């Protein structure tokens, strides 16, 4: 049973199709978000690996590739990813608006990674209007020999192990290059279906970035009710995203996380312990800091000492009767509720690896 399941997980033997191809673009600054190469079309054996012989690939410290493909040979993706120097995945990835990246292409996209000054970091960008889809691909040709099935089974195991190992190993400054949610999406979506990443919350869980630039602010009325509601949404959303494995019913399901956020906000069990505006000073912009208590606790620990507060810090530009809140930068931390007795406005607490979320509702369509 396990064997038949894994064989259906990956599209390893796609029917013959027109070969995909690489296109090179002139890039004046390899540290920008420009694509140096673009791959378009179905991924057939040899299509991706052909890039390794291109001088532009070997001579660049950092290379970004744009992808527009319905998928194809996962073995080719595996060979391409594992063929990089020391498995550092030294290429960033982008799916541009109007393009699609599905099945094996989506796996390739998620291995996008760049190097900073001293360490690597995940670097995969999806523009608005792009389509990124995951599923458990299938054998594209059922009329195959037993030897071909054995090969497909071997590659399926190799790719599954690559995904799990990469999600397990914290090898970048941002932690593990791949999230456990990715493994769940790939292994849990039937081959005849497609799970598209369409919300800002799921992008955050998978470590997928929006392109730089554009409008990165939202406006909120400068009154305690509306600012407080925003801080509460940020705290509940961040708690749900950070401790998500305790909130889902049966394995990863983003809908369970969304349901927890809306149900918690609707119960009115949240308490605004403190809400202040910090004026700008030196080179620091103005900030709003909110301290919220409620149904926050250390998962799996049910004593009074498990109760947590949430500290949300928003960067703002005060206006006449409103705040412009930066949506690309806010910090959230959780600390022991007892600590508020000594310090009603605590500093940032780095005890938990928090995923800040909620300025934009996590179920917002991207």
Is residue 350, in this structure, part of any structural domain at all? no
Note whether residue 356 is domain-resident. no
What pLDDT score was predicted for residue 54? 83
- In angstroms, the CA 301 to CA 264 distance is 19
Q: Assess if residue 349 is contained within a domain.
A: no
Q: Which residues pair with 318 in a beta bridge?
A: 323
**Structural domain includes residue 313:** yes
Longest dimension (CA), the chain: 73
CATH of the domain at 200: 3.90.226.10
* Inside any domain, residue 69: yes
pLDDT at 365: 94
Do 36 and 156 fall into the same domain? yes
Q: Which pLDDT score is estimated for 30?
A: 65
| Same structural domain, 131 and 231 | no
Taking the CA of residue 209 as centre, how many other CA atoms within 13 Å lie in the half-sphere pointing to its CB?
17
SS3 annotation, 126-174 = ECCCCEEEECCCCCCCCCCCHHHHHHHHHHHHHHHHHHHHHHHCCCECC
pTM, two decimals, is 0.87
Write down the pLDDT at residue 2.
Answer: 30
| Nearest one of 80, 157, 68, 85 to 111, comparing CA atoms | 80
The residue written with tokens 């928090």 in the block is 354
The Cα-based distances of 352 to 94, 107, 238, 356 in angstroms read: 30, 29, 11, 11
152 lies in some domain: yes
Q: Using CA atoms, how far apart are residues 131 and 257, in angstroms rounded to an integer?
A: 22
Looking at residue 248, its pLDDT comes to 87
337 and 255 housed in the same domain: yes
* Segments of the chain scoring below 70 in pLDDT: 1-18, 30-31, 58-62, 84-89, 137-144, 147-149, 170-174, 214
Confirm whether 255 is domain-assigned.
Answer: yes
DSSP state of 14: P
Assess whether 189 and 290 both reside in one domain: no
Which of 173, 206, 239 is the last residue in one of the domains?
206
Q: Are residues 42 and 191 in the same domain?
A: yes
User: Is there a single domain that holds both residue 200 and residue 278?
Assistant: no
Structural domain total, the chain = 2
Structural domain containing residue 26:
2-206
* Long-range contacts of 313-316, Cβ-Cβ distance < 8 Å, separation of 24 or more: 313/287, 313/288, 313/289, 313/348, 314/230, 314/231, 314/234, 314/287, 314/288, 314/289, 314/290, 314/359, 315/285, 315/286, 315/287, 316/277, 316/285, 316/286, 316/287, 316/288
Q: Are residues 25 and 174 in the same domain?
A: yes
192 and 138 in contact (C-beta within 8 Å)?
Answer: yes
Are both 188 and 299 inside the same structural domain?
no
One domain for residues 127 and 239: no
User: Is there a single domain that holds both residue 34 and residue 82?
Assistant: yes
347 found inside a domain: no
Q: Are residues 292 and 231 in the same domain?
A: yes
By DSSP bridging, strand 63-68 and strand 37-40 are parallel
The closest alpha carbon to 333, from 317, 352, 357, belongs to: 352
CA atoms within 13 A on the CB side of 351: 10
| Residues 138 and 268 occupy one common structural domain | no
């Amino acid at each position: 049973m396990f064997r038949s399941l894994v064989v259906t997980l990956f599209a390893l033997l796609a029917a013959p199709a027109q070969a995909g191809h690489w296109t090179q673009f002139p890039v004046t600054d390899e540290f920008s978000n420009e694509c140096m190469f673009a791959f378009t079309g179905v991924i057939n054996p040899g299509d991706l690996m052909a890039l390794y012989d291109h001088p532009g690939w070997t001579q660049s410290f950092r290379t970004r590739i744009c992808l527009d493909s319905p998928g194809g040979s996962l073995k080719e993706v595996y060979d391409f990813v594992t063929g990089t120097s020391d498995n550092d995945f030294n290429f960033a990835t982008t799916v541009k608006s109007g393009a699609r990246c599905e099945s094996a292409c989506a796996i390739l996209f998620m291995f996008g990674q760049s190097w900073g000054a001293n360490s690597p970091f995940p670097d995969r960008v999806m523009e608005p209007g792009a389509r990124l889809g995951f599923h458990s691909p299938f054998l594209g040709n059922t009329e195959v020999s037993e030897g071909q099935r054995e090969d497909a089974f071997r590659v399926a195991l190799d790719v599954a192990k690559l995904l799990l190992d990469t999600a397990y190993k914290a090898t970048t400054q941002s932690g593990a290059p791949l999230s456990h949610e990715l493994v769940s999406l790939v292994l849990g979506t039937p081959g005849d279906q497609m799970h598209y990443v369409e919300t800002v919350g799921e992008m955050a869980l998978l470590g997928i970035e929006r392109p730089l630039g554009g409008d990165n602010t939202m406006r909120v009325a400068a009154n305690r009710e509306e600012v407080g509601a925003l801080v509460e949404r940020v705290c509940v959303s961040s708690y749900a995203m950070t401790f998500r494995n305790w909130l889902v019913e049966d394995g990863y399901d983003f809908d369970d996380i969304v349901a927890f956020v809306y149900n918690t906000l609707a119960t009115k069990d949240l308490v605004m312990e403190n809400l202040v505006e910090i004026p700008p000073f030196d080179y620091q912009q103005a900030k709003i800091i909110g301290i919220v208590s409620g149904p926050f606790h250390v998962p799996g620990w049910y004593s009074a000492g498990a109760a947590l507060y949430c500290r949300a810090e928003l960067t703002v530009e005060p206006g006449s009767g409103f705040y412009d809140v930066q949506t690309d930068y806010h910090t959230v931390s959780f600390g022991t509720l007892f600590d508020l007795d000594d310090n009603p406005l605590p500093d940032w607490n780095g005890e938990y690896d928090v995923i800040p979320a909620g300025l934009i509702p996590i179920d917002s369509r991207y």
